[in-house]
Amino acid sequence: MGKVIGIDLGTTNSCVSAMDDGRPIVIPSKAGYRTTPSVFAVTEKDKKLVGHLAKRQAITNPKNTIYSAKRLIGRRFSSPEVKKATKTYSYQITKGPHDDVRVISGGKEYSLPEISAMILLEMKRIAEEYLREKVTEAVITVPAYFNDNQRQATKDAGIVAGLEVLRIINEPTAAALAYGMIKKRREERIAVYDLGGGTFDISILELGAGVFEVISTAGDTYLGGEDFDTGIMDYLVEEFSGSTGINLSDDRMALQRLSDAAEKAKCELSAVKEAQINLPFIASDTRGPKHLDLRLTREKLAELTKDIVERTIKICEETIQQAKLNKKDINEVILVGGQTRSPLVQEMVRNFFGKQPHKGVHPDEVVAIGAAVQAAALTEEKTELLLLDVTPLSLGIATHGGFFTPLIERNTTVPVRKSHIFTTARDDQTTVKIRVLQGESDRADDNELLGEFMLSGIRKAKKGEPEIDVSFDINADGIVNVSAKDLETKKEQSITVTASSGLTEDEVRQMAEEAQMYELELKQ
């Protein structure tokens, strides 16, 4: 049997890992890179590029360079997050047939699972090149706070890339697995603070002899390093406008350069106290070209981005409460994600937890390593690893009056199955419509619609008489399934959940065929 790889499919960068001689290793690309930018582009000559090559040409080809796909995957086009991205991203975002999100590159429309599949194909290629064998199976990580649609869409991306996704695991849980590999067999309670390019997660886990149990998890799938960059960009645009009267916010190419410079300065400021931002010929007016030349200090960066870190701290506070714990009950705090290199983040996390975060894991690689550890545990017969994760969001149904009735509360250990008896509201009613939702609001409409289905073929009877037992399952991937049974006739009900923002099976199959062609092209 071939090797199973672990892939950290990140907002900004992705990383691939596998077991080698019983130890997990990060697989470098031929060029020596240990992480790959999660960027896809189509050039003017209609050539598809992924990773470093795609990122390198982003400034000169901003309209066709797709980045941060993870912030859009599995979301509805009409959601506020996508509206925001439509205004700020340099590429075009449009509406797909299922109110899903599509992006345009090289004049062609792509679904988000297709874009993520390109990144996965590249990670698979890097692994195959290094391992010198074909890879067909993978464990892929997602933010703990991803809902069912986002998980399903990530799984679809795996299928499109020709990978059998053995398991979807949560990033902070993967990080804890990797951490557990280093510190074997010690009982402790840890917090994993994961701030990446686009998402934030916090998970509290209990570790003991081979058992990794998540107690609670929370997060924000639209909060990350990119928001730091945007904060700096807004400041640069304002300063430039103040000194020249020119507004750069409508110039896509200038914005791409500003975004790059902002991120570079931000990263520099993690190591030094001051950074120079120098962008010659960023604009011009009747008097000639204009240059942006500005010094950014660590203090100024902290002032611009403090509120973002405060948002994460607030979420940490809520998670600890949810876990019915106290801050001092946490033995170790582990930092994951590139953005945790920022001194401001480290300081605020240290102040909140009242202890120095653990420095022994590599924030960019630890998630992929954990995925490889889990992959090995799933495929090896003898395993001493037990992973107990939780569902990050409550699962329930819409009930009369627009309310939301949770059936499976958040932070319940998965896999889990809960049933609910449905009946009819009218005499001789033969169908009932059920809307499945995920979220924490009392109002149905404020939660994420996972899908709706009709319970049909109910025998004609007086209202309230028929008893239909509907089961809601959440599997170990965090993916939801629904089934139903008529308790009197014992007949299974045929129900089809129509995903609200995913792709149909046919669409996924067709995309997979196209991706195979691309993979061939890539190999040639």
CB of 488 to ligand AMP, least distance (A): 52
70 catalytic residue (yes or no): yes
With respect to ligand AMP, which residue has the nearer C-beta, 215 or 258? 258
Distance CA 281, CA 151 (A): 43
To ligand AMP, the closest distance from the beta carbon of 310 in angstroms equals 17
Are 296 and 275 in contact by the 8 Å Cβ rule? The answer is yes
Q: Phi-psi category of 13—alpha, beta or left, where left has phi over 0 and alpha has psi -120 to 50?
A: beta
Comparing CA positions, the residue from 204, 439, 220 lying closest to residue 308 is 220
Supply 191's token pair: 């917090």
Cβ proximity to ligand AMP, 11 vs 147, nearer residue: 11
Per CB under 6 A, the list member of 13, 216, 230, 424 interacting with ligand AMP is 13
- Which residue in 4, 5, 12, 396 binds ligand AMP (CB under 6 A)? 12
Q: Closest separation between CB of residue 407 and ligand AMP, Å?
A: 33
| Intra-chain end-to-end CA distance of the chain, in Å | 26
Between 297 and 383, CB nearer to ligand AMP? 297
Residue choice 319, 342, 411, 500 for contact with ligand AMP (CB under 6 A): 342
Cα(479)–Cα(150) distance, integer angstroms: 9
With binding defined as CB under 6 A, does residue 406 bind ligand AMP?
no
Q: Which of 122, 263, 365, 448 binds ligand AMP (CB under 6 A)?
A: 263
With CB under 6 A as the contact rule, which of the stretches 115-123, 264-272, 288-296, 321-329 interacts with ligand AMP?
A: 264-272
Residue list 210-239, contact with ligand AMP (CB under 6 A): 225-226
Is 17 a binder of ligand AMP (CB under 6 A)?
no
Closest by CA position to 460, among listed 509, 412, 426: 426
Name 221's Cβ contacts closer than 8 Å, sequence gap at least 6: 71, 143, 145, 146, 147, 150, 198, 199
CB of 516 to ligand AMP, least distance (A): 28
* Minimum CB–partner distance for residue 194 and ligand AMP (Å): 8
What stretches of 250-318 adopt beta strand conformation (E)?
274-285, 288-297
Q: Which amino acid is at 72?
A: L
Q: Tokens for 515?
A: 């991706």
319 interacts with ligand AMP by CB under 6 A: no
Of 413, 10, 17, nearest to 205 by C-alpha is 413
Residue 36 binds to ligand AMP (criterion: CB under 6 A): no
Identify the residue among 55, 266, 290, 410 touching ligand AMP (CB under 6 A): 266
Query: What value, to the nearest 5°, has the Cα angle with vertex 148 and ends 144 and 153?
Result: 100
| Residue 302 binds ligand AMP (CB under 6 A) | no
* Contacting range for ligand AMP; rule: CB under 6 A; set: 26-34, 92-100, 304-312, 338-346: 338-346
* Nearest distance in Å: CB 9, ligand AMP: 10
Query: Site for ligand AMP (CB under 6 A): which residue of 122, 148, 364, 365?
Result: 364
Residue 172 lies near ligand AMP (rule: CB under 6 A): no
Q: Judge whether 194 counts as a catalytic residue.
A: yes
Question: CA-CA distance, 321 to 327, in Å (whole number)?
Answer: 9
Contact at 8 Å (CB) between 314 and 279?
no
H or E element in which residue 443 lies: none
Residue, CB closest to ligand AMP: 225
Candidates 34, 63, 189, 341; binder of ligand AMP (CB under 6 A) is 341
The rounded distance, in Å, linking the Cα atoms of 215 and 222 is: 23
312 binds ligand AMP (CB under 6 A): no
Q: How far is the CB of 219 from ligand AMP (least distance, A)?
A: 13
Whose CA is closest to 210, among 178, 185, 174, 175?
A: 185
C-beta closer to ligand AMP: residue 95 or 350: 350
Task: Tell me whether residue 159 or residue 176 sits nearer to ligand AMP (CB atom).
Answer: 176
Catalytic residue among 114, 171, 220, 365: 171
Residue whose C-alpha is closest to residue 362's, from 404, 334, 386: 334
Q: In what order do the strands lie in the sheet with 468-474?
A: 416-422, 468-474, 480-486, 492-493
d(CA 470, CA 480): 13
Contact call for residue 502 and ligand AMP (CB under 6 A): no
The CA distance from 17 to 365, in Å, is 8
Catalytic residues: 8, 70, 171, 194
Interface contacts to ligand AMP, rule CB under 6 A: 10-13, 196-197, 225-226, 263, 266-267, 270, 337-339, 341-342, 364
